[in-house]
Amino acid sequence: MPREKIDLPYSVDYLSILDADGSVDKTLEPALPEDLLLRMHRVMLLNRRFDERMLHLQRQGRIGTFALTTGHEATFVGSVAALRSSDWLVPSYREAAAILWRGGSLENFLLYFGGYDEAGWVPEDVKNLPISIPVGSQTQHAVGLGWAIRSRGSDEVVMVYFGDGATSQGDFHEAMNFAGVYQTPVVFICQNNQWAISVPRSRQSHSRTLAQKALAYDIPGIQVDGNDVLAVHAAAVEAVERARTGGGPTLIECVTYRLSLHTTADDPKRYRDDAEVAIWMKRDPLPRFQNYLLAKGILTESKLAETEEAIKTEIQEAVDRAETRMKEPVDPLHMFEHMYAERTPALEEQRDELSRELAAGKGDLSHG
């Protein structure tokens, strides 16, 4: 009865293709079509400019609190671009870029963060779940979707997003465990942006990588440079293919950085040094990818200026549409919609009650 080493064939790869200095590992560089590369770039840029504009709007009191996404563009775009439109996207609350990639409307973002429930609507032909705010909880739905997909004999894949903080939640571990047991076609994308509000990655987990958490469940785990859109995409393509062909789930840890605030209610100066931010600014995924495309001649300075201009217009038009909508009177009774397939008697009574209140208080701007 000896004591011996159990030989577990486990290790965690780290993948980087395009580094912060713009040098490319030619052996790993994927041969992606130009239109795909340009589309990735456009959505990354759109996301960045939209984030900046939303911050201004929030500071001016024109929309409410939202989670900023600047700095995460490569992680979100690189991964979501590996999906087909028939696949499922299960976001947390920071993946604007992934939602924009799948045709999400800027106007709906503005309305949602402007306080309109109506903007939670997901078009019938888009297989996105609504954003999920309780950290890590959405990982469980992804695995349920994945199980259902396999049970119906379909080859759809589910991609679920969460941050480094979510890896401390039990929900995440339960989801990984079920995904392993049932070999569900789920790609877990951990955007490790180093900070869960004020708690640094080092205080979130003693694990040297977050990717290695997959190994406990006998799921492949890989760590990638999350600011390198080519590396994220390559890892995601591999994981999506594995999931689609019956190979089960994968955990991809994308090492990135939250260059901006957690949400508009956050003040990072309370907990992190500017010097650290400055280091990560040099690793910014957007100029890195832009320079790569410029160097390859896929993008030109004039084309870039054109794209900037088109994005500016697109955002302005969305802001105009959203603000026009926000100036229209709100129907307070809308809150009673979609609670159940059929409104309950108590809801009917309460709806009537609010209706009477509104009639009695006509012109009273205090809303009760």
Partner 1 sequence: MAKMTMVQALNMALRQEMEKDDRVVVLGEDVGVNGGVFRVTEGLQQQFGDQRVLDTPLAESMIAGFSIGMALYGLRPICEMQFSGFSYYAIHQLEAHASRLRHRSQGRYSVPMVLRAPYGGGVRALEHHSESREALFAHIPGLKMVMPSGPRNARALLVAAIRDPDPVVFFEPKAVYRAFREEVPEEEEVLPLGRSQVVREGDDITLISYGAMMHPTLAAADELKEKDGVEAEVIDLLTVSPLDDSLFTQSVRKTGRAVLVHEAPRSFGPGAEVVARIVEKSFWSLEAPIRRVTGYDVIFPLFAREGDYLPGAARIARAAREALSA
Q: Is 345 in the site for partner 1 (CB under 8 A)?
A: yes
By the rule CB under 8 A, 339 interacts with partner 1:
yes
Question: Catalytic site residue 258?
Answer: yes
> Closest Cα partner for 252 from 302, 189, 312?
189
User: Binding residue for partner 1 (CB under 8 A) from 23, 65, 86, 151?
Assistant: 151
- The reply to whether 153 sits near partner 1 by the rule CB under 8 A is no
Residue 144 touching partner 1 (CB under 8 A): yes
- Based on the shown chain and the rule CB under 8 A, indicate whether residue 352 belongs to the binding site for partner 1: no
Sheet holding 221-225, edge to edge: 13-15, 221-225, 250-255, 186-192, 158-163, 88-90
Tell me whether residue 262 is one of the annotated catalytic residues. yes
Distance CA 190, CA 252 (A): 6
Rounded to a whole number of angstroms, the distance between the first and last alpha carbons of the chain is 76
Residues 154-173: x/- map of binding to partner 1 (CB under 8 A)? ----------------xx--
Q: In angstroms, rounded to a whole number, what is the distance separating the alpha carbons of residues 250 and 328?
A: 46
208 binds partner 1 (CB under 8 A): no
Q: Which is nearer to partner 1, 12 or 166 (CB)?
A: 166
Size of the residue set binding partner 1 (CB under 8 A): 43
- Shortest distance, CB of residue 175 to partner 1, whole angstroms? 6
Q: Compute the least distance from the CB of residue 146 to partner 1, in Å.
A: 7
247 is an interface residue for partner 1 by CB under 8 A: no
Active-site residue identified among 53, 201, 258, 288:
258
| x/- track of binding to partner 1 for residues 5-34 (CB under 8 A) | ------------------------------
Closest distance of CB 280 from partner 1, Å: 32
Q: Which of 20, 55, 129, 298: binder of partner 1 (CB under 8 A)?
A: 129
Interface mask toward partner 1 for 91-120; x: CB under 8 A: --------------------------xx-x
Residue 110 C-beta: closest distance to partner 1, Å: 16
- The answer to whether 206 is a known catalytic residue is no
* Alpha carbons 74 and 71: distance in angstroms, whole number: 8
**Residue that has been written with the tokens 């410029």 in this structure:** 294
Min CB(172)–partner 1 separation in Å:
10
179 vs 293 by CB, closer to partner 1: 179
The answer to whether residue 130 forms part of the interface with partner 1 (CB under 8 A) is: yes
Catalytic residue among 48, 262, 283, 288: 262
Q: 158 or 196: whose CB is closer to partner 1?
A: 158
Cβ contacts of 265 within 8 Å, gap of 6 or more: 65
Provide the annotated active-site residues: 258, 262, 271
What is the contact surface with partner 1 in residues (CB under 8 A)?
117-118, 120-124, 129-130, 132-134, 137-149, 151-152, 170-171, 174-175, 177-178, 181, 337-341, 344-347
